Structure 1
Amino acid sequence: PRRRIGVMLVNLGTPDATDYWSMRRYLNEFLSDRRVIDYSPLLWQPLLQLIILSKRPKSSGEAYAGIWNQEKNESPLLTTTREQTEALAERLSAAFGQEVLVDFCMRYGNPSTPERIEAMQKAGCDRILFFPLYPQYAGATTGTANDQLFRVLMKLDWQPAVRTVPPYYDHPMYIEALANTVREAYAGLSHRPDALVTSYHGLPKRYLVKKGDPYHCQCQGTTRRLRDALGFSEEEVVTTFQSRFGPEEWLQPYTVEEVARLAKAGKKRIAVMAPAFSADCVETLEEINEEIKESFEHAGGEEFTYIPCLNSRPDHMDMIETIVKSELSGWI
């Protein structure tokens, strides 16, 4: 095939279905990743295989079932990532014709990174731009996505040239897209929220303290720039972390506890957004809209507004297109 350039969008992953064995396969791959859980396999794997994976697939399957795209029989994350890919492909086709091929893959589950990278190479792509859709860098997200790419390359006799997209937590177009979602949400409310909660996915605190992971700093950087773009005061915007797993201390404050504290402190109306997620998924549609909302209302909160992720919004796709074109500089 003639030479082409590949652009690969990458997201976390999704189970193939909500049944026990589909969930178990997905969770086993996810929780066996040493970037995600770095305990010694000698200690962790017996606990994972004998206890966690005997119970968690059922509860996780129920959570996914509540948000599952029944029409397409897939998770919302898969649906949205495909929409983002199709939107980007249309834009790049208008700019470069057939010279650029756009596809997507998942770090865990399907479509897998090895499958799609190999398909892209067979389609003639001797240069590939690998784009992890994580605004803030963490070893457990961007790092492991890139690891999987490099594992694929290690098995190829003829390797394509590759570039990986750096974190974009402070990109002006990303900040403006986030600000637009807040402005639109607030415009549709009868009363202005007392606080805006920016809820990021959590991470064990020792990853920051002992490993120097920049994730926490970059999350704070995103919130600070968003606050400035909106013209909000420091008291109006709160940074929190969700999805804690296991007994050890994670980045704080925990979202589920902080929204309850806000309600008890008299902030009866809040809006919650998830800037670390490029697409709505189980952590936003189920965890935020159910568990975290319930915590707020149980503590006396009255009005809870969830602001959706950027998904395939035009301003989000403008940002992705701009970053891709910049990173392709010299190749096209």
Structure 2
Amino acid sequence: MLDAPDTAVLAVNLGTPETPTAPAVRRYLAEFLSDRRVVSLPALLWQPLLRGLILPLRSSRSAAKYAQVWLPEGSPLMVHTRQLAQAMQALLPTLRVRHAMRYGEPALTTELDRLATEGVRRIVVLPLYPQYSTTTTASVEDRVDAWQRRNPQVTVSLVQDYSIDPDWVAAVAGSIQRYWQQHGRGQKLMFSFHGIPQRLADAGDPYPQRCEASARAIAAALGLGADDWQMGYQSRFGRERWLQPYAEPSLWELAEAGVKQIDVVCPGFATDCLETLEEVAMGFTETLAERGAQMRYIPCLNAAPEHARALARLAVASLA
């Protein structure tokens, strides 16, 4: 067993408002949408638009959506991330396992500071984004690099991608198989990934290739044929072209072609959150029902034991 009391693993998720209220959502979105990795417009142009139009319009609407999926213990993303870190801690008892958020609380740099104060000298930062993107993993890396320059006494390594890690692929495939054993298998399986603007992919962001590799690996682990599954991208924002095919219109096309039962899984998300629960599980299901088809949402891995084991192994491998 790895015995390293001066070593920690910090699992980092995207972030979440602290409460499903307009002021809390506004604070969260202000930080999120001010990240140049997320919105690359010059601040002099973007900030007046963000503060004067987007935040006033989106905060109340988003708060209402969060309220629909909020758990008694808090935000689904926060609850599942905390439980996942606890499950990893049980598997790595000689290390310190913590969780943090890139936006919101507990803040990434605050948790890094806390670990350094506790005497930790080696930290593995594990962004909970299976597929690398400049919009997600690179943003975490930016913040970590800036922190390490101020704290050279601590060695930090960062897991950049685990899109085809065998243990993670097996965990996702296993969760789908268990769902099918309990509920039966739909006529088609859709892998729905969070989208990014097409211009970022054109500029070299490898995210779409990583998503495709994940989908192919999971489908192969399930023994699916080419006609048994497809993939799409969700969560578009703004008017520009994003990665295609778009997930929801693709589902509509399946329904209109006579596919009446479709299973959807979101392997780009480590834990369930607003985008998987409100947008997919609720929204996609409703619009498909209007077209005469049934959609079943297969939950994210969350704090499942096989998920915790896969991530714990990734962290130990990074230490090696």
TM-score normalised over the length of structure 2: 0.96
Residues 178 and 275 in structure 1, CA contact (< 8 A), matched pair in contact too: yes
Query: Does structure 1 residue 169 correspond to structure 2 residue 163?
Result: yes
Runs of 4+ aligned structure 1 residues displaced above 4 Å come to none
Query: Does structure 1 residue 181 correspond to structure 2 residue 158?
Result: no
Aligned twin of 2:193: 200
| Counterpart selection for 1:222 from 210, 214, 222 | 214
Aligned twin of 1:36: 38
1:166 Cα deviation after fit: 2.5
For 1:85-104, list aligned pairs within 5 A.
85-93=85-93, 97=94, 100-104=95-99
Task: Find the aligned partners of 1:265 and 1:39 in 2 and give their Cα distance.
Answer: 40
Residues 257 and 295 in structure 1, CA contact (< 8 A), matched pair in contact too: no
Query: Does structure 1 residue 154 correspond to structure 2 residue 149?
Result: yes
Aligned twin of 2:315: 324
Aligned twin of 2:126: 131
Number of residue pairs matched by the alignment:
317
Aligned twin of 1:79: 79
Aligned twin of 1:312: 303
Which structure 1 segments of 5+ residues have no match?
none
1:80 Cα deviation after fit: 0.8
Query: Does structure 1 residue 109 correspond to structure 2 residue 104?
Result: yes
Residues 259 and 295 in structure 1, CA contact (< 8 A), matched pair in contact too: no
Aligned twin of 1:118: 113
1:115 Cα deviation after fit: 0.9
For 1:237-316, list aligned pairs within 5 A.
237-301=229-293, 303-316=294-307
Residues 132 and 207 in structure 2, CA contact (< 8 A), matched pair in contact too: yes
1:39 Cα deviation after fit: 1.5
Residues 194 and 269 in structure 1, CA contact (< 8 A), matched pair in contact too: yes
Q: Percent identity?
A: 38
Aligned twin of 2:21: 19
2:110 maps to a residue whose letter is E
1:184 Cα deviation after fit: 1.1
Task: Find the aligned partners of 2:153 and 2:281 in 1 and give their Cα distance.
Answer: 44
**Could you report, residue by residue, the CA deviation over 1:277-298 in whole angstroms, capped at 9, with x for unpaired residues?**
0000001011101211122112
TM-score normalised over the length of structure 1: 0.93
Residues 255 and 292 in structure 1, CA contact (< 8 A), matched pair in contact too: no
Paired residue secondary structure (1:139)? coil
Classify 1:251/1:291 alpha carbon distance in 2 versus 1 (closer, same or farther; 3 Å).
Answer: same
